Amino acid sequence: RKEVEQDPGPFNVPEGATVAFNCTYSNSASQSFFWYRQDCRKEPKLLMSVYSSGNEDGRFTAQLNRASQYISLLIRDSKLSDSATYLCVVRNYGGSQGNLIFGKGTKLSVKP
């Protein structure tokens, strides 16, 4: 089983739609969780960290379910500019210093 798994998509949604991505991780000792965004042929950039209690940043909501070992990202009122690949990222406690484990990404395409 891959350490971090995501549905690769693509998710094709109309503007204004709500879309949700899930990500599962295999290591129950994982400590930190993030969503990164990567535009085509660009570098990844942090979208948001994921906290145990769940957190929201504008139209984006991230949730963590430790018992089931999954992380979700909800995007409300999708914009054309949300089109990108969303990377689920996990850091394991006691792992190599700074070693983040990246999922392969879920591609989102928002259409007019």
Partner 1 sequence: NAGVTQTPKFQVLKTGQSMTLQCAQDMNHNSMYWYRQDPGMGLRLIYYSASEGTTDKGEVPNGYNVSRLNKREFSLRLESAAPSQTSVYFCASSSQTSGANEQYFGPGTRLTVT
The two three-digit tokens of residue 4, written as one number: 């971090």
User: In this complex, which beta carbon is closest to partner 1, that of residue 11 or of residue 34?
Assistant: 34
Interface residue with partner 1 among 20, 45, 65, 79 (CB under 8 A) is: 45
Positive/negative CA dihedral, 41, 112, 57, 94 = negative
Smallest gap from Cβ 16 to partner 1, in A, equals: 30
Which residue shows structure tokens 């054309």?
80
DSSP string, 20-87: EEEEEES-TTEEEEEEEEE-TTS-EEEEEEE-TT-EEETTEEEEEETTTTEEEEEE-S--GGG-EEEE
Q: Which of 64, 103, 106, 110 binds partner 1 (CB under 8 A)?
A: 103
Q: How many residues sit in the footprint of partner 1 (CB under 8 A)?
A: 20
Asked if 68 is part of the footprint of partner 1 (rule: CB under 8 A), the reply reads no
Residue in 46, 51, 59, 66 binding partner 1, rule: CB under 8 A? 46
Residues at the contact surface with partner 1, assessed by CB under 8 A? 31-32, 34, 42-46, 49, 87, 91, 96-100, 102-105
